[in-house]
Amino acid sequence: MSKISQAAALPISAKRLFRFVGALAVLAFLLGAAPHARAQTPFYLGAHIGGHRLAEMDQTRVGYGFRLGYEAYLPFISLESEVNFFPTTSGGNLGETQAFFGLKFGKHVGRWGGFLKARPGFTHFGGGAFPQRLTERTKFALDLGGGVEFDLLEKVGLRWDVSNVRIHYGDAMLSAGPGSLIGAPLGTRNTFQTTFGVVLHF
């Protein structure tokens, strides 16, 4: 099993990350009542939990991820990278690892902000009870979407993303078992994904 496949099969890490993000969100909310000015620091780091619906595989995944960004042209344009891990499940779902890098366009008014994003990258499938269920497992993906941000403290905020992740499967096909393919090549599919987490500016 490759290192990427192993990373996609770590449910214990996901549970710990859920607790970590939840605890940070609660702590930041409790400390965020006082008015403040938003930090004008160019770098930010985030941790989040997320869900990804793959209708073509009849799977809904829950996972976690991290992002690193640089606000290149304050306050509108940021360069951003993100990695997401959706572990395998007891039901035999394939694990999934995503990596994206691209642009985020946004604006804050007071504590609230809105943004759009366009980030190309890739997604890798592996692990589970039948890792060969998909005939080709590393594919180009494009994350298109947007979201909202809320500043709790000067350098701490919450972020909610909603995305259409377009996965270019190409000629890849699903398999019910060794040598048993299902239907036609998958082509390009639109998939729904959402994340919620904490952002720290530094």
- Domain-by-domain residue ranges, the chain? 3-201
Q: Output the pTM of the full model.
A: 0.79
Fold of the CATH domain 3-201: Porin (2.40.160)
Residues 43-96 pLDDT 10s: 999 999 999 999 988 888 899 999 999 999 877 899 999 999 999 877 767 899
pLDDT recorded at residue 25: 59
As given in the structure block, the two tokens for residue 96 are 């999934």
Please tell me the distance from the alpha carbon of residue 181 to that of residue 133, in angstroms, as a whole number: 9
Peptide bond into 75 cis (omega under 30): yes
Give the rounded percent of residues in the chain with a pLDDT score beyond 90: 57
Residues 156-166 pLDDT 10s: 999 999 999 99
Please tell me the distance from the alpha carbon of residue 34 to that of residue 25, in angstroms, as a whole number: 16
**CA-closest candidate to residue 46, choices 151, 158, 146, 144:** 158
As given in the structure block, the two tokens for residue 71 are 């606000």
As given in the structure block, the two tokens for residue 113 are 């902000």
Residues 12-27 pLDDT 10s: 455 665 666 666 656 5
Please tell me the distance from the alpha carbon of residue 16 to that of residue 44, in angstroms, as a whole number: 22
